Every structure is written in structure tokens, then in C-alpha cells.
Homo-oligomer: A and B are copies of this chain.
Amino acid sequence: MATTERRYVITFGCPDRTGIVAKIASFLADEGGWIVEAAYHTDPDTGWFFTRQEVRADSLPYGVEELRERFIPIAASLDADGDAEGGASGLHWRIDDTGARRRVVLLVSREGHCLYDLLGRVASGELDVDVSAVIGNHDVLADITRAHGIPFHHVPFGREPEDKADSFKRIADIVDAHDPHAIVLARFMQILPSELCEAWAGRALNIHHSFLPSFMGAKPYHRAYQRGVKLIGATCHYVTADLDEGPIVEQDVIRVDHGDAITDLVRKGRDIEKVVLARGLRWHLENRVLVHAGRTVVF
């Protein structure tokens, strides 16, 4: 995405068989398509085949709409049912145009390190995305957000279940108004209701402050400290209705030792959280992450 050269990105999955690569590559070659990046993977467990290909937009004599149209029979012949528009739920294949701007909405609470990090990456041009809005259940991060020229929405959360439902309704309205390519829970400390998990399936990314599946749920650094682990980690995963059990996009760890108090774990862990979330978001926005059978293929 960071390149200025416009490309069409094809992501595709179908049951494995002989000749898939030949069929797709020949289709593209016949149209004059110049493949600048290609990756393939076969999952021996599920017997599925996956690919991601980047084609130079100017190597084709037509636009992305027509490419999608022409690709439909190819996909059908390979039993890749799906949606040329690339709906997240029924995804078997999609074609995206890197010339179209990507939009993201960030959800935050009080902890600012992930927000600061993402805003810095966007401001420095490293992460090529429009941050359409930041929504916080606290307002401590409003000023820095607005200093970056981005709208901040403060949606406080009451303690009663009906208050929470109300707050989530407001959040959903703001998010959906932007129809974002990614909804990022950047240390947002509220659990998404299952209907939002479903509505945003494949688009909502969370950063969990542990090396999952260790320490799912609350206070992972405290529990890591109690267990006496020698490395702590962070996990970027898609949000699903099962808390902290969504498909893992990226993980990393950092070394700690007996001299580190819980506050040190928290501080050291932040550097991992930031990097893991930024990587995961980047890969998601570049259509590098394909989900199948609860696991991710990251091309």
C-alpha cells in the first residue's frame, strides 16, 4: 500500500487440486497482467489452496470493476464461491484496488501508547490510511487525537447493562457511518457485544497484552508475573464472540526477569503491543491476511 504504483490485489481460496495456479496465471497473462508479487499456500489439513497476487494496474487495459467481472468465471470454475465485492463473511476471493484510500476507526480507553504509535505512523506516512475517527470511552486522548486533525468522539460507558448497550449503539453508529476497512481496538477496555463481533467480522482487530493462549482475559501482566514467566508477549487477533480466541494475526515477545516488577512488565509489554498491532493492522490493510478454519494465512 505504501507504494505509489497502483495495483490490484487478488486474494483467493478454493479446494486444492492440480492446475489452479496455471488457470489464474494464464488468465492474468492473457489479459497482459504483470504480477509484481505472488504467494501461494496449501493447507494440508483442510485441503484448501490460498493465493494472493498483486498486479500492476497499468498493465491491464481496463479497471478493477471489469477485472472482477472477468474473474468471476475463473473463480466459479475453481469452486471458489464468493463475492466479487469481497464481503468479509463469505470471503473466498476478492480483488482490491490500492488506488482507493483505506479508512480505519480506532477505539480507545485511557491507555494511549497504541494510539500515539498509530498516529505517529500515519503522520510520518509509514501507514498509508485515513484515520476517520477515534472513539474513546474516556476523553483523556481527545487532545492528541485532535492535534492530528482527527475527530475524537467521547462515548462514556455507564455501569448498567442497558447503559453499555446504549454506548455500543452510539459507537456502532459512528463506526458504520465511515464504513471502515478496519476497526481497531487499540487497548479499548470494553468487551464487544456479540452482534458487533458479527457485524464487524474480519474487520475488527484487537491487541491483547499477552502471548495468547496464555493469560486470556483480564490482567494478563499480573498473571504473567505471578506465574514467573521469562518472556511476555502481545497478540493481534481478529475479534470474535469468543473472548481472546479469534484468529491470530501476529504475536511477539520480549524478555523479562526476576528484577521486573509488574509495572516493568506493563512498560516493556507496551513496546511489543505497539509493534504487533501496527504490523497486524498493516497486513490487514494490505489484504495479506486470509482467515480459514480459525487460523490465518499471512502472505
- Cβ of B2 and Cβ of A298 under 8 Å apart? no
Stretch in contact with the other chain, from A157-165, A193-201, A227-235 = A227-235
A177 at the interface (CB under 8 A from B): no
Q: How many residues of A contact B (CB 8 A)?
A: 75
A189 at the interface (CB under 8 A from B): no
A72 at the interface (CB under 8 A from B): no
A295 at the interface (CB under 8 A from B): yes
A88 at the interface (CB under 8 A from B): no
A202 at the interface (CB under 8 A from B): no
Copies of the polypeptide in the assembly? 4
- Cβ of A18 and Cβ of B231 under 8 Å apart? no
What's the Cα separation between A72 and B255 when bound, in Å?
37
- On whether A295 and B230 interact (CB within 8 A), knowing A22-B25, A144-B123, the answer reads no
3 closest A-B pairs (Cβ-Cβ)? Answer: A116-B120, A228-B295, A147-B147
- Cβ of B28 and Cβ of A22 under 8 Å apart? yes
- Looking at chain A's contact residues, the main secondary structure is mixed
What's the Cα separation between A126 and B23 when bound, in Å?
36
10 additional A-B pairs beyond A212-B229, A227-B248, beta carbons within 8 Å, are A18-B33, A19-B25, A26-B26, A36-B42, A126-B270, A147-B147, A213-B215, A228-B247, A228-B294, A231-B233
A219 to chain B, nearest CB (A): 14
- Cβ of B275 and Cβ of A44 under 8 Å apart? no
Query: Which residues of the partner chain B approach A191 to less than 8 Å between Cβ atoms?
Result: none
A29 at the interface (CB under 8 A from B): yes
A243 at the interface (CB under 8 A from B): no
